Structure 1
Amino acid sequence: MKIISTNIGKRIEIDWKGVMITTGIFKFPVDKPVFLDVEDVKGDAICDREEHGGIDQAVYGYSLKHYDYWRKLYPDLDWQLGMFGENLTIDDLEETKIYIGDTFKVGETILEVTKPRQPCIKLGVRFNNMKIVKQFWNSTKSGVYFKVLQTGFVSANDEFKQIKKCVENPTIAEVYEAKKIKNGI
């Protein structure tokens, strides 16, 4: 696997149907290395620290292969990498084959898989359509949160090399499915 793009976003306020929403979900590719720190990606806006950032959600990765699935559902969007709010767009990150605790070496960093992302209203704002939130829940294309075990810089085209596999643990897709059941979705 390899990194296709590194993405960061700024803190912005959006008027969503009369309600002001502050978000950092509008992420776009950058042409320079990004620094993955212990609790976040340096220079990337995190507006809701309860749901994003922190040790177990320092970096969010999403698979480029999933973009084809979503483009078919939303063909009229202006598609760009970073659409899902991911910091790292990875060529082939498959949630059904990634286990909690799996560890990867990428650039100067070492990342450990911690959990799937749960969609929220801000994904609907990004897509300008709240249907995406339920559709996201009804797929296994959640993306992956990572803990940063070793900080450092990561760039587009860096190899995303697995150095530890934890098959004794559930996959990201299995954890995501369990959260759906727990949340009654």
Structure 2
Amino acid sequence: MKYKAFPLKSINVGRIETLHYGEKTLKTAMRKRPITEPAYVSKTGFLEDQQEFKGHGGTEKALCLYPSEHYTYWQEILEGVENHTALFGENLSSTGITEDNTHIGDIFQLGEAVIQVTEPRTPCHKIATRYNVPDLARLMRDQGNTGFLLRVLEEGYVNPGDALYLKERDATQVSVSFVNHVKFFDPKNQEKIEEILAVDGLSKTLRKSLEKRIANKFV
């Protein structure tokens, strides 16, 4: 069977390091670089990749993808974007895949690995510190260009230059954009939350959070 291909601008990994931005110091693995040789993807992500913050990584957030099309928007806000790789510390800098046309539960082939979309990425303060733009996380939320996270269904090697191949669209067709909108702008809409919870591929972490909202009656 022939699958639709989406080229990747780069496939990126990084190690934890201490970086200095003005008067602020960050311990982070955000400064990722493209792989130059085959890299193995395990259930928790690339073996060569590290995560400093406990809220990142793990089996439900093993990989992060960010659409390179969004780079154009950030050129007027951030410095040096035109020469940047892994702008927001993503493992996969994609082309043709966006929050609007990708759904929770969609399954892709990446080299030998098989991966599945689990939830939108939640922007954190470290990206704001890195670029010295205090409201950067808010801008990402408002624009909806957050990128998203994936789990690894089948482990395997990935080579530089590999593309993503769409293997299966999730039947529920709940887009990443839809989930972003509910999370950030319509957090008390029980009907929409239940629509998200109906997606089998939803991450366990986000599922737990949304179920808690309903159980607590959005208090």
TM-score norm. by structure 1 comes to 0.89
**Aligned counterparts of 1:157 and 1:85: Cα–Cα separation in 2:** 18
1:125 aligns to what? Answer: 129
Counterpart among 45, 57, 61 of residue 61 in structure 2: 57
Name the aligned partner's letter for residue 125 of structure 1: T
Counterpart among 146, 156, 160 of residue 156 in structure 1: 160
* Distance 1:127-1:33 versus aligned 2 partners, 3 A rule: farther
Compare relative contact order (CA 8 Å, sep 6+) and give the higher one, 1 or 2. 1
- Residues 1:175 and 2:179 are matched in the alignment: yes
Name the aligned partner's letter for residue 97 of structure 2: L
The structure that is helix-richer by fraction is: 2
Counterpart among 88, 98, 114 of residue 84 in structure 1: 88
* Distance 1:68-1:19 versus aligned 2 partners, 3 A rule: closer
**Aligned counterparts of 1:41 and 1:126: Cα–Cα separation in 2:** 23
Counterpart among 75, 84, 105 of residue 109 in structure 2: 105
| Aligned residues between the structures | 182
Name the aligned partner's letter for residue 128 of structure 1: N
Q: Following TM superposition, by how much is the alpha carbon of 1:16 offset from its aligned partner in structure 2, in angstroms?
A: 5.1
**Aligned counterparts of 2:22 and 2:163: Cα–Cα separation in 1:** 42
Q: Equivalent pairs: percent with the same residue?
A: 25
Q: Following TM superposition, by how much is the alpha carbon of 1:15 offset from its aligned partner in structure 2, in angstroms?
A: 4.2
Tell me which structure has the larger Cα radius of gyration: 2
Counterpart among 140, 144, 150 of residue 140 in structure 1: 144
Q: Name stretches of at least 5 consecutive residues in structure 1 with no aligned partner.
A: none
Q: Following TM superposition, by how much is the alpha carbon of 1:10 offset from its aligned partner in structure 2, in angstroms?
A: 1.7
Q: Following TM superposition, by how much is the alpha carbon of 1:25 offset from its aligned partner in structure 2, in angstroms?
A: 1.0
* Distance 1:78-1:131 versus aligned 2 partners, 3 A rule: farther
1:33 aligns to what? Answer: 38
TM-score norm. by structure 2 comes to 0.76
Q: Following TM superposition, by how much is the alpha carbon of 1:159 offset from its aligned partner in structure 2, in angstroms?
A: 2.4
**Aligned counterparts of 2:175 and 2:182: Cα–Cα separation in 1:** 11
Q: Name stretches of at least 5 consecutive residues in structure 2 with no aligned partner.
A: 1-5, 189-219
Question: Is 2:8–2:94's contact at 8 Å kept on the other side of the alignment?
Answer: yes
**Aligned counterparts of 1:85 and 1:11: Cα–Cα separation in 2:** 12
